[in-house]
Amino acid sequence: MKRLVYLVAALLVLGACQEKKEKDIAGHVIVIGLDGWGTWCMDKAEVPFIREMMKEGSGTLDKRTVRPSISGPNWAAQMNGTPVEVSGITGNEDHPTFKPLVLTEHNAQPTFFHLMRLERPEAETGVVCEWDDFRNYVDLQCVSYEKAIDDPTGHPDAIVEESARYIKEKKPAICFIHIDALDHMGHSYGQGSAEYMAELPKVDDRVRRIVESAREAGIYDDSIFIITSDHGHEGTGHGGDSTNEIETPLVVWGKGIKKNHEITEPVIQYDVAATVAKVFHIKTPNSWRGVPIEVFE
Ligand SMILES: [Zn+2]
């Protein structure tokens, strides 16, 4: 009898402890990364859906890149929560330029995908990208699904169709979607070009349709959406420290996110990773330098 009482008491305590674990802020985080989306274009940019979501949620036009302002280190930082000094990623190569301070058991960057896999092995996570090398910055053994779109320039809608299919079919806990079109325009025609500006409403519409698929999947109300970028352009290039290259927009909206809120604290790429981790109350390692952006209600 005494043993039974102890057992019941232990179960109650266990239950109470488990109850204490904070409830996820939302069940799904969908990150849409627009490669080469610079703040410089936002005065004139025709992006009605993105502007609407900036009102619907929280946003800043002053998110700062890590250095150098190129894709590899800036996508890596938004997933691994660390600056270049920790990740060793300074280029678009498939390996760090110098010895990283931390790597996973798979010899990869410790991204939020890795942390999620450790904490919730059953969680569905995925990456869909238009830039094949984007996957160099993801521990592929820690995502349930990854797909690089073939010939994205020839099939601009493929990224929408593939992302929508994946979201509707799998309802991922975390999904990172990478769209390359603006960077392509920036390199081909340059910062401020008519071609770049003409691509913006098309990209805006692709974002809208991807978000729409979350509604069709029935997860919209239990999701947080993040629209982010890796760098801007100067002329037809990037990698330098000019304002046009290092200032990028960020929009966050959805469940538990402040509405019509301008983010005023300094935001650097690696804070995006910490913000994603916070949604699931994932404990981040001390190698991370990112802090959750103050967008939560
Ligand atoms: Zn880029």
**What tens digit of pLDDT does each residue of 189-209 get?**
999 999 999 999 999 999 999
Give the domain ranges of the chain.
24-279
Per-residue pLDDT at 177: 98
End-to-end Cα separation, the chain, in angstroms? 48
pTM to 2 decimal places = 0.93
For 241-265, the three-class secondary structure string (H helix, E strand, C coil) is: CCHHHHEEEEEEEECCECCCEECCC
What is the rounded CA–CA span in Å between residue 177 and residue 4? 52
CA 49-53-58 angle, 5° bins: 150
CA of 259 to the centre of ligand 1 (A): 29
92 CA distance to ligand 1 centroid (A)?
A: 9
What would the pLDDT profile of 271-287 be if each residue is shown by its tens digit? Answer: 999 999 999 999 999 99
Q: 79 C-alpha vs ligand 1 centroid, how far in Å?
A: 15
CA of 294 to the centre of ligand 1 (A): 26
Separation of CA 129 and ligand 1 centre (Å): 12
* Gap from CA of 226 to ligand 1 centroid (Å): 17
As residues whose CB is below 5 A from the ion ligand 1, the structure lists 35, 71, 183, 230
Amino acid code (one letter) for 24: D
Partnered with residue 176 across adjacent β-strands are: 31, 127
CA of 230 to the centre of ligand 1 (A): 6
What digits encode the pLDDT tens for the residues 285-297? 999 999 999 999 9
Q: How far is the CA of 1 from the centre of ligand 1 (A)?
A: 67
Residue 20: band (very low, low, confident or very high) from pLDDT cuts 50, 70, 90? low
73 CA distance to ligand 1 middle (Å): 9
pLDDT tens for each residue of 241-273 = 999 999 999 999 999 999 999 999 999 999 999
CA–CA distance, 156 with 215 (Å, rounded to integer)? 22
Question: Domain 24-279 falls in which CATH fold?
Answer: Alkaline Phosphatase, subunit A (3.40.720)
Residues 6 or more apart in contact with residue 253 via CB below 8 angstroms: 53, 54, 56, 57, 58, 224, 225, 259
Tell me the percentage of the chain whose pLDDT exceeds 90: 88
pLDDT recorded at residue 22: 81
How many CA atoms, within 13 angstroms, populate the side-chain half-sphere of residue 241? 1
Q: How many Å lie between the centroid of ligand 1 and the Cα of residue 180? A: 7
For 152-190, what is each residue's pLDDT tens digit?
888 899 999 999 999 999 999 999 999 999 999 999 999
Beta strands of the chain (E only): which ranges? Answer: 28-34, 58-64, 125-129, 145-148, 174-179, 223-229, 247-254, 261-262
